[in-house]
Structure 1
Amino acid sequence: MNYEDFICYVQREVQTKMGEGVRVELHRVMKNNSVQLDGLSLVELPHSISPTIYLNDYYEEYQKGRTIPEIVQDIADVYQETRVEMAVDTDFYSDFEKVRDFVAFKLINYRRNRELLKKVPFVPCMDLAIVFYYIFRDENVGKGTILIHNSHLNMWGITPQNLYDTARQNTLKLLPYEFRSMMDIMMEVMEGPSVSEFMPDSEKENPIPMYVLSNCERNLGAACILYDSVLSEVGEQLGKDFYVLPSSVHECIIVPCDVAVLKEELRDMVREINATQIPPEEILSDEVYVYDRENHRLSL
């Protein structure tokens, strides 16, 4: 069964399993970096919010031998775990005064998102773009984000500058930054100093000092490089200029400029990691930036 037949067949089977009380809709969703995913939205009226369950990974599992009934049951289980049991009032979103305190910004790649940027307000930033989103928090639904489109600005009657000024004030307050050494984070993840066992001998002898800059939730944290004074504070801690490696939309790696590594080698490292280790929708950039402490300037 090819992919298109698979997603249509799974939609029909899930609809049959869920019955008339739930409407199962198939959507093609454009994610970050123009990555397109196919998802099922399971809408249980009168609820206005429904979970979207993506099918792309399920097709890979199907190709490896997982059966359709197993996949349908898994989708039903995911729905039961994530379904909204109470109706959620979304009318508040039409009033900017009710959403302004939770408007934030994030960074995405400009070239990879040219189609998306036709639909959303943005601010160019080197090879990147600053875009805006609403942080949704509800005790019944949980946490999520809503990307802000040009249509929202028209509905709210505000300008892109109003939006940028609001997000600039909010993001640092809502998502404070964290600056930590890479070794500390690896030891935390590995739960102990045994992380050294996994390091190549060359790195044990001449380790490159690396630091991680992200926000407190480690989600969409690459935007921390836009926070007022943050890069200046990082420079004060390091006492030197530094490279900024955009490791993903979630974080940046900081490397002091006095390391015995060429900038071109760092760029090659970023590109290799993007090509082999980062999900396509989480790639931020293939470039490396430099922060000049004296001029307080970040540039390519």
Structure 2
Amino acid sequence: MNGYEEKIKDCLFLEVCNAAGREEWDGLAHQQKENLMLVCRLSGYDEKFQRDCGLVTREQMEHWGIEEEVLFQDAWANMFAKRPPVLMDFEDAYEHHYDQNILAMEKKPERIWRTDADFYVLTNNMDHGAVYMMDEATLQKSAEKLDGNLIVLPASIHDVYLMVEREGLDMERLRNGVYGANRAFPDADYLSDEIYRYDRDTHRLSVIPGSVQEEQAGMVLYQ
């Protein structure tokens, strides 16, 4: 595999970004889900192409002699081994209590600090943790731990908020909150203004239809 096993395989990682307005996708290794794009990044230095490693291109894949399916399988294996997913309630995430990982618990802890808005944060302990919203197994495990279908709110490329779907949730309020929060973060951290639903029975992530009311977009999500 032209050095792939020895030099490349263990240096692959994944990131998620918004698919809109990108003209270079055809030249990159990528997988699309809804309006989001999963891309593969190579850490280190690529001697063949004489450059610091950025997003993996199809030209590089051809040089290594590997298929896209293998590339993403290896990159996911690295993510889980070196940057595993962490699911925390909002308070633990705010305090950076990464050891309170609900995904590693037999059952989620009883919530005693908030009853009006059950927010959870899906991330990792480094960066680009929002990539795990693109992993069906992680969303399914999260849904099982939280015992319900999930409303997925992209906070940035680094983390996403999860809520358990329940009757009476104001989806437009959530959408406006995501839109407003996105305007407060650097453009480089932007992921999406959409909100999503994960169905644990069909194992499907989909965009929740709707539109932003900009005059209400400044509200804080968890108020």
TM-score of the alignment, normalized to the shorter chain, above 0.5? yes
Pick one of 174, 185, 188 that aligns with 1:281. 188
Q: Tell me what 1:233 maps to.
A: 141
SS of the counterpart of 1:248? coil
Q: Tell me what 2:218 maps to.
A: none
Q: Tell me what 1:209 maps to.
A: 118
Gap regions ≥5 residues in structure 1: 1-93, 138-143, 190-203
- Contact 1:110–1:129 (CA<8 Å) still a contact in 2? yes
Alignment RMSD (CA, Å): 2.4
CA distance in 2, matches of 1:147, 1:205: 40
How many residue pairs match? The answer is 184
Q: Tell me what 1:299 maps to.
A: 206
Map of 1:69-88 to 2, 5 A cutoff? none
Runs of 4+ in structure 1 over 4 Å off: none
Residue 67 of structure 2 corresponds to residue 159 of structure 1: yes
Q: How big is each residue's C-alpha offset from its partner over 1:6-50, in whole Å with a ceiling of 9 and x where there is no partner?
A: xxxxxxxxxxxxxxxxxxxxxxxxxxxxxxxxxxxxxxxxxxxxx
Residue 188 of structure 1 and its aligned partner are, at CA, apart by 4.7
TM-score, structure 1 length as denominator?
Answer: 0.56
Residue 299 of structure 1 and its aligned partner are, at CA, apart by 1.3
Map of 1:70-149 to 2, 5 A cutoff? 95-97=3-5, 98-112=7-21, 114-136=22-44, 146-149=54-57
Q: Which amino acid aligns with 1:165?
A: Q
CA distance in 2, matches of 1:145, 1:179: 30
Residue 186 of structure 1 and its aligned partner are, at CA, apart by 2.1
Residue 105 of structure 1 and its aligned partner are, at CA, apart by 1.6
Q: Which has the larger radius of gyration?
A: 1
Pick one of 247, 255, 261 that aligns with 2:169. 261
CA distance in 2, matches of 1:205, 1:158: 49
Residue 278 of structure 1 and its aligned partner are, at CA, apart by 1.3
Q: Which amino acid aligns with 1:295?
A: T
Q: Tell me what 1:249 maps to.
A: 157
CA distance in 2, matches of 1:100, 1:209: 39
Residue 288 of structure 1 and its aligned partner are, at CA, apart by 0.6
Residue 160 of structure 1 and its aligned partner are, at CA, apart by 2.0
The higher-RCO structure (CA 8 Å, 6+ apart) is 2
Map of 1:172-183 to 2, 5 A cutoff? 172-183=80-91
Q: Which amino acid aligns with 2:155?
A: S
Q: How big is each residue's C-alpha offset from its partner over 1:200-257, in whole Å with a ceiling of 9 and x where there is no partner?
A: xxxx98631111001121x011111233521122112211111011111111100111
Percentage of identical aligned residues: 27
Q: Which amino acid aligns with 1:290?
A: R
TM-score, structure 2 length as denominator?
Answer: 0.74
CA distance in 2, matches of 1:264, 1:145: 40
CA distance in 1, matches of 2:31, 2:185: 25
CA distance in 1, matches of 2:115, 2:206: 27
SS of the counterpart of 2:133? helix
- Contact 2:33–2:134 (CA<8 Å) still a contact in 1? no
Q: Hey, which of these two has a bigger chunk of helix by percent?
A: 1
Q: Tell me what 2:79 maps to.
A: 171
The alpha-carbon distance between structure 1 residues 206 and 259, as it changes in their structure 2 partners (threshold 3 A), is farther
CA distance in 1, matches of 2:35, 2:204: 15
Residue 290 of structure 1 and its aligned partner are, at CA, apart by 0.5
Q: How big is each residue's C-alpha offset from its partner over 1:89-123, in whole Å with a ceiling of 9 and x where there is no partner?
A: xxxxx7322111221221110004x1232431111
The alpha-carbon distance between structure 1 residues 297 and 280, as it changes in their structure 2 partners (threshold 3 A), is same
